[in-house]
Amino acid sequence: MNSRLPQMTYAAVIAGVFAFPALAQAQITEYQQDQWLHTAAITSHVGNVTGDGSGAEERYRRYCQVCHGKMGDGNGESAQWFEPPLYPKPRDFTLGVFKCRSTPTGTLPTDEDLYNTIGRGMDRSNMPPWNTFSEQTRADLVAWIKHYSPRWQTEKAGPPIEIPAEPEVTAERVKAGQEVYSRVQCWKCHGVTGNANGPSASTLTDDPGHPILPYNFHEGRPKCGNSDTELYKIFMTGLDGTPMPSFSDNIKPDEAWDLVFFLRTLQSYPSKAKEIAEQLHLKPLNPDGSLPK
Ligand code: HEC
Ligand code: HEC
């Protein structure tokens, strides 16, 4: 009996892995999505604007469908051209999994998170910014996106994480941030100097199975925004659907600010933290990720 157990478990796991995506795909029909469009879950609230999903259909068909697809599954006409290095592929909205959130890993984003992403676009990807659309149009598009996935029918957005007020950046905090970067091993992917060349960098894939590179702190801006608070949210909520995890279990809120300040020293453009690091002659981490002497 005992000797057969591992084999059976293995078989069950394999069956589960292959059966689940097939089931999830088969479950969603256009008819169902039409029904969801008319449920209470499919409105959005951003500030004092209320978004109505039906109001966005025309714009979605005209501006978004070419990449995100008729049924929101990320298989628009243009998606086929997103070959390496033009990854990631357009988001599959039927999964209800999003990168840019103020909410804990594994939970749905808030309406405002989606609204901000639509206006900002996603740097280093083919997701353009839609900041010429009115607030109403963007709020309508948020509601429309929500009608593609069954998750919005049964779940609410997660509770936004609590972020303490931002402290003053000091030399102690920049150094403490470097210690956090070393301790929780950001360098394994992002590299000791932030050039996206850590030992794990070339092995990473996103949930759909496509290769994905870590963010290179010397190039461009983070795709979920580049304010101090946005940087804080990126590593405390994680970019769901990618290997970029949430560190909320390993980094305390106050330490998270130290880390934000240290990350600024890795970016190529000027900041107060970078000035401080230069005054300190702050050395990069050793190649094995340990702190410099
Ligand atoms: C040229 C192709 C293209 C067009 C057009 C486009 N997108 Fe995207 N979109 C993408 C890609 C690619 C991603 C994934 C980027 C990434 O993961 O880095 C994405 C991601 C997203 C996301 C996911 C954000 C997150 O946090 O994960 C949302 C929401 C979104 N797009 C909304 C829209 C809306 C609304 C429109 C139309 C107004 C639109 N997109 C038009 C390519 C496009
Ligand atoms: C297992 C590998 C891995 C580890 C460990 C990791 N990251 Fe990332 N990180 C990634 C990947 C992959 C991306 C790119 C995601 C994308 O492009 O969608 C990323 C993206 C980012 C971004 C920018 C968002 C963007 O893509 O524009 C920031 C900022 C970031 N990581 C900070 C950190 C910090 C700080 C730590 C440590 C606390 C850390 N990461 C640990 C893999 C990792």
Q: Is residue 3 part of a domain?
A: no
Whether residues 189 and 273 fall in one domain? yes
CA 271-240-286 angle, to 5 degrees, is: 50
Could you tell me if 130 and 139 are in contact, meaning their C-beta atoms sit under 8 angstroms apart?
A: no
Q: Is residue 9 part of a domain?
A: no
Does residue 14 or residue 187 have the better pLDDT? 187
Q: What is the pLDDT of residues 66-100, one digit of tens each?
A: 999 999 999 999 998 887 766 899 999 999 999 99
In sequence order, what are the beta bridge partners of 43?
A: 52
Q: Is residue 164 part of a domain?
A: no
Average pLDDT over residues 26-46: 83
Average pLDDT over residues 154-178: 97
Residue nearest (by alpha carbon) to ligand 1 atom 21: 91
Q: Is residue 263 part of a domain?
A: yes
- Has this prediction a pTM greater than 0.95? no
What is the CB-side half-sphere exposure of residue 2 using CA atoms within 13 A?
Answer: 0
Q: Identify the CA nearest to 145 among candidates 83, 187, 97, 200.
A: 97
Domain boundary among 154, 186, 208: 154
Tokens of 283: 């050395």
Q: How far is it, in rounded angstroms, from Cα 192 to Cα 27?
A: 44
* DSSP code, position 291: P
Tokens of 112: 């405002």
Query: Of all atoms in ligand 1, which is nearest to the CA of residue 142?
Result: 35
Whether the pLDDT of residue 157 is over 90: the answer is yes
- Which of the four pLDDT bands, split at 50, 70 and 90, describes residue 25? low
Residue range of the domain that includes 218:
171-280
Q: What is the pLDDT of residues 252-278, one digit of tens each?
A: 999 999 999 999 999 999 999 999 999
- Which of the four pLDDT bands, split at 50, 70 and 90, describes residue 11? very low
- Which of the four pLDDT bands, split at 50, 70 and 90, describes residue 26? low
Whether residues 248 and 195 fall in one domain? yes
Whether residues 135 and 224 fall in one domain? no
Whether residues 59 and 120 fall in one domain? yes
CATH number of the structural domain spanning residue 96: 1.10.760
Whether residues 46 and 147 fall in one domain? yes
Whether the pLDDT of residue 5 is over 60: the answer is no
Whether residues 112 and 202 fall in one domain? no
Whether residues 138 and 195 fall in one domain? no
Whether residues 95 and 197 fall in one domain? no
Q: What amino acid occupies position 12?
A: A
| Mean pLDDT of all residues belonging to the chain | 90
Q: Is the bond leading into 253 cis (omega within 30 degrees of zero)? A: no
Whether the pLDDT of residue 109 is over 90: the answer is yes
What local confidence, expressed as pLDDT, does residue 220 receive? 79
Instruction: For the beta carbon of residue 269, count every other beta carbon within 10 angstroms.
Output: 9
Dihedral pair phi/psi, residue 28, rounded to 5°: -95, 120
Tokens of 127: 């997701």
Q: Identify the CA nearest to 225 among candidates 208, 237, 209.
A: 237
- Which of the four pLDDT bands, split at 50, 70 and 90, describes residue 31? confident
Percent above pLDDT 70 for the chain: 89
Whether the pLDDT of residue 22 is over 70: the answer is no
Query: Of all atoms in ligand 2, which is nearest to the CA of residue 231?
Result: 29
Name residues contacting ligand 2 (CB within 6 A). 99, 184-186, 188-190, 200, 204, 212, 214-215, 222-224, 231, 234-235, 239, 242-244, 247, 259, 263
With a 6 Å cutoff on the Cβ, whether 97 touches ligand 1 is no
Domain boundary among 124, 154, 184: 154
Query: What's the structural domain count of the chain?
Result: 2
Q: Is residue 228 part of a domain?
A: yes
Percent above pLDDT 90 for the chain: 78
Q: How far is it, in rounded angstroms, from Cα 221 to Cα 215?
A: 9
In sequence order, what are the beta bridge partners of 50?
A: 45
Could you tell me if 84 and 65 are in contact, meaning their C-beta atoms sit under 8 angstroms apart?
A: no
Whether residues 275 and 194 fall in one domain? yes
CATH number of the structural domain spanning residue 181: 1.10.760.10
Whether residues 35 and 138 fall in one domain? yes
Domain boundary among 111, 127, 154: 154
Going from the Cα of 177 to the center of ligand 1, the distance in angstroms, rounded, reads: 32
Q: How far is it, in rounded angstroms, from Cα 146 to Cα 152?
A: 6
Q: Is residue 16 part of a domain?
A: no
Residue 285, C-beta contacts closer than 8 angstroms, at least 6 positions apart: 178, 181, 182, 187, 192, 193, 291, 292
What local confidence, expressed as pLDDT, does residue 7 receive? 42
Q: Is residue 218 part of a domain?
A: yes
Q: Is residue 12 part of a domain?
A: no
